[in-house]
Structure 1
Amino acid sequence: MEIFEMEPRLFISSFACVVCLCCFAARAQEARLEKVKDIVVYSDDRFYSAFPSVVLRADGELLLAFRRAPERRYLGESGSNHTDPNSYLVLVRSKDNGETWTPEPELIFAHPFGGSQDPCMTQLRDGTIVCSSYGWALLRGGVAEKVPDTLRHGDFVFMGGYLMRSTDGGNSWQGPILPPPVPDSVTQTVFREPCPAYNRGPMCEGRDGTLYWAVASQSRLQPRLTEVHLMASTDGGLSWEYRTVVARDDTASFNETALYETPNGDLVAFMRTADFNDHTAIARSTDGGKSFEPWMDAGFQGHPHCATALSDGRVLLVCGYRHEPFGIRARVLDPECRDIGQSEELVLCDDGGNGDIGYPWVTPLADGNYLVVYYFNKENGTRHIAGTILSVKQ
């Protein structure tokens, strides 16, 4: 087992030094994050499995969704990549805190026009699961080059975002639901229509029941420049309205974003960047998502992110690390997420085969531990879904 020591925080009271010392001792006792073990959730050398998300059901069952596509090397091709016409959204389940998982994935959705990416599940307080995704359509014979004013990845043309919903624990899914485009987005879809909002990352259900979603939008295609904006839903993801810009810049791009609501009601956005030395950026709203303060450089590399509250109120933030040594990293923040610049970096694993890894998602477990899931490879081998179980010692 690996034991990580985290810096305690001491809140000094001028009128009660004894209480202060007791609080320090209690905090110091809590400040031990222990790595229990690494696990493999799903691995099949015929498939390229990536981009997981995971939720804990009220009965203790875990649902883990991921994107599964054919492993093109298995079929004799030179390699696989992140766009494939046969990439589908699937899920597996665990009823024993991640020790074992159902061996055959269940289908969430197969898009009729192309491959889907990054099934991002958010579970609402009423048990509804909202799963966001986006897709790429393959156009052969040079047709992709003729599609104007949109995003392209080789012969793949962007289809924009969509959402699926389940009200029965992932046994059935309704959708796809097409969210509205971000105002002033310059991107059209393969269908030559305004691009529905999209992004990778966890949504956040606010204390008033509003569902917040940080979405990406292209403000410029050549050279590409991406912003992050806030969408909101008051009916559990069935319909959406635009709220405000989260982060924009003249040179740095912002995209994959995790949202987290603090005890004081602040919305904190942890954002992946481009053209910014791979640094994490953060932005904060103190008025319920009506506006965001200017974005800030968090001062460290890593992407994308996911955050969850620990049992003592602090926040566990996880991210992928696509630099040598390749792996998964984490930080523990104060409950309001204001000490991110001073937080200690924790290495959960550092034995990845290359930069094609990461995209972690974190959830509490029914037994009080925490599970961080991600996609991984060793020595450029099979892309598979893996995880790390963590324990916070009191």
Structure 2
Amino acid sequence: MDHRTVHRDLHAYSAHPHLAVAANDNWLLVFTQSRRRAGVLHPPQDPLYCNMMMRSADEGRSWSAPSVVPDFGWQGVECAGLTPLRSGVVLLNQWRFDWHTLAHAEAHLAPGTYTRPEDLTGAAAMAAELRDWTPEKATLAERYPWARGGGETWIHRSVDGGATFTASTRIDTAPFSGGYGMRGGIEVDGEIMLPLSDVPNYAAVFTVRSGDGGNSWSEPCLVAAGEGHAFEEPAPILLRNGRIVMLLRDNISRMLHVVTSEDAGLSWSVPSSTGICDYPADMVELDDGRIACVAGRRREPFGIALYVSNDSGGSWNPTHALAVRTGLPNRDLGYPSLALRADGSLFVAYYAQDIEGITGIHASVLMPEATGWRQEGPEYGEG
């Protein structure tokens, strides 16, 4: 097992990667970046976030310097996803929040149309993995003098393998509050199917479809929602047998749930728990037909875990996770994404904080012979 740092900036907070393979010599890695702060704020709380992308021509062994995507001027965004198409086109899906100075919101916007810093960064709004860094409520408006409005879902199109994005299309997500996806879509039956969650509610997952290469999109179609659940951050995969498997983060149970489709995503199974307490996820189909899933372990011992399904996503053996990375200092980590190299090894990208307190993009390479992930390897064990 080989661990390495992909990107580290002393003055920036870099996180939430998504890895996509456009071609064997064109791997794309998109992630979020904002300024480094005394406390941790993620995209829903910080208007300075932009999406950055790096490229690799040698399956992740070396990377280009990161560059803003789709271009300068696109900030205040959520995590982004990439969809390489068989045509060579690359799509970038991105949700952009509307941000205002707090002074402007108080003077010119109607109450109820924006969210104040006390609600954005207070304890009630922070997810469990961020609560360690929740600041004092009395100082929130002074420390973070901005307000958040609504937002829009955008698709950006590249015809040169992700080097530049020259066309942008807004997706109408009504009746949902918005559309956010930290992974891309899949091509199936001549269409692109893109799963999204209803930002800023983060409680339902739906799909939109395009039959013209991403230039126009259908009305949303619900995949998963329901009382007692808050589904978001879908991660889809199209298997060689035609089944679509999608893992969903559930912010109520804090477990990954799975849905499947046998008809190109037109209908879906009822969400069921995988029993995996780590999230969010990404998947790849192995040469032998099994599915490898990686997820962030934001509970002790902190790290990155890998699970394998032997039955096309039906079960995951959640109590025996392979330890991709252990010894990370805290829960400021996760969003692992993976790709299969030509030699059969797995390249897993994720974000984590190092011993000097810098949060950046890291990677681990799992060699089948060295780690035994094809059979049995070092495990986290029960719990």
TM-score, length basis structure 2: 0.80
Residue 51 of structure 1 is matched in structure 2 by: 16
**Alpha-carbon separation, structure 1, partners of 2:356 and 2:180:** 29
Aligned partner (choices 92, 116, 129) of residue 77 of structure 2: 116
Deviations along 1:239-272, one digit per CA (max 9) or x if unpaired, are 2113632111112100001011223322221000
In structure 2, what is the equivalent of residue 132 of structure 1? Answer: 93
Task: State the match for 1:226 in structure 2.
Answer: 203
* Residue aligning to 1:211: 192
Residue of structure 1 equivalent to 2:223:
246
The answer to whether 1:372 aligns with 2:372 is no
* Contact 2:152–2:171 (Cα < 8 Å) also in 1: no
Q: Distance in 1 between matches of 2:214 and 2:115?
A: 25
Distance 2:236 2:115 in 1: 25
Tell me the CA shift for residue 392 of structure 1.
2.9
Q: Which of the numbers 282, 286, 299 marks the counterpart of 1:306?
A: 282
Separation in 1, partners of 2:81, 2:211 = 19
The 3-state SS of whatever aligns with 1:301 is coil
Does 2:189 match 1:174?
A: no
Q: Which runs of 5+ in 1 are unaligned?
A: 1-35, 188-194
Aligned equivalents of 1:201, 1:94: Cα separation in 2: 19
Assess, with a 3 A threshold, how the Cα gap between structure 1 residues 338 and 141 changes in structure 2: closer, same or farther: closer
CA separation of 1:127 and 1:334: change in aligned 2, threshold 3 A? farther
Q: Which moved more, 1:229-238 or 1:142-151?
A: 142-151
- Quote the offset at 1:348 in angstroms: 0.8
Distance in 1 separating the partners of 2:263 and 2:343: 35
Q: 1:148 aligned to 2:112? A: yes
Amino acid at match of 2:159: T
- In the TM superposition, residue 45 of structure 1 has moved relative to its aligned partner by 0.8
Structure 1 residues 100 and 355, CA gap change in structure 2 (3 angstroms): same
User: C-alpha displacement at 1:138, in angstroms?
Assistant: 2.8
Determine the C-alpha separation between the residues in 2 that align with 1:141 and 1:371.
42
User: Cα deviations across residues 170-214 of structure 1 (Å, max 9, x unaligned)?
Assistant: 22102432112143x2x3xxxxxxx4x3222232222x2321111
- Counterpart-to-counterpart distance in 2, 1:45 and 1:240: 40
Question: 1:62-211 maps to which residues of 2 (within 5 A)?
Answer: 62-73=27-38, 80-82=41-43, 83-102=45-64, 104-110=65-71, 112=73, 114-141=75-102, 143=105, 146=110, 148=112, 153=120, 155-183=147-175, 185=176, 187=177, 195=178, 197-206=179-188, 208-211=189-192
Which has the larger share of strand?
1
3-state SS in 2 of match to 1:340: coil
Amino acid at match of 1:216: S
Q: Is the 8 A contact 1:114 1:137 kept in 2?
A: no
Query: Pairwise CA RMSD of aligned residues?
Result: 2.5
Q: Post-superposition shift, 1:288?
A: 2.1
In structure 2, distance between residues paired with 1:295 and 1:149 = 33
Distance, in Å, in 1 between the alignment partners of 2:325 and 2:233 is 22
- CA–CA distance in structure 2, aligned partners of residues 251 and 79 of structure 1: 28
Q: How does 1:329-340 map to 2 (within 5 A)?
A: 329-334=305-310, 336-340=312-316
Answer yes or no: is 1:261 the counterpart of 2:251: no
Opposite residue 256 of structure 1, the aligned amino acid is E
What is the rounded CA distance, in whole Å, between the counterparts of 1:59 and 1:215 in structure 2?
27
- Aligned equivalents of 1:284 and 1:115: distance in 2? 33
Check whether the contact 1:48–1:80 (CA below 8 A) recurs between aligned residues: no
- Distance in 1 between residues matched to 2:257 and 2:354, nearest whole Å: 29
AA of the residue aligned to 1:201: R
Which deviations, in whole Å up to 9, do the C-alpha atoms of 1:267-311 show, x marking residues without a partner? 2210001111x1111111222222212110111211111111112
SS of 1:161's equivalent in the other structure is strand
Query: For residues 81 and 255 of structure 1, do their structure 2 counterparts lie closer, same or farther at Cα, with a shift above 3 Å needed?
Result: closer
Contact 1:114 1:138 in 2 (8 A): no
Give distance in 2, aligned partners of 1:225 and 1:374. Answer: 22
Residues 13-55 of structure 1 show CA distances to partners (whole Å, capped at 9, x for unaligned) of xxxxxxxxxxxxxxxxxxxxxxx31111110111111111122
Separation in 1, partners of 2:209, 2:229:
25
Q: For 1:101 and 1:253, how far apart are their aligned partners in 2?
A: 36
TM-score computed with the length of structure 1 as normaliser? 0.78
Q: CA deviation at 1:147?
A: 5.4
Report the AA paired with residue 309 of structure 1.
Answer: E
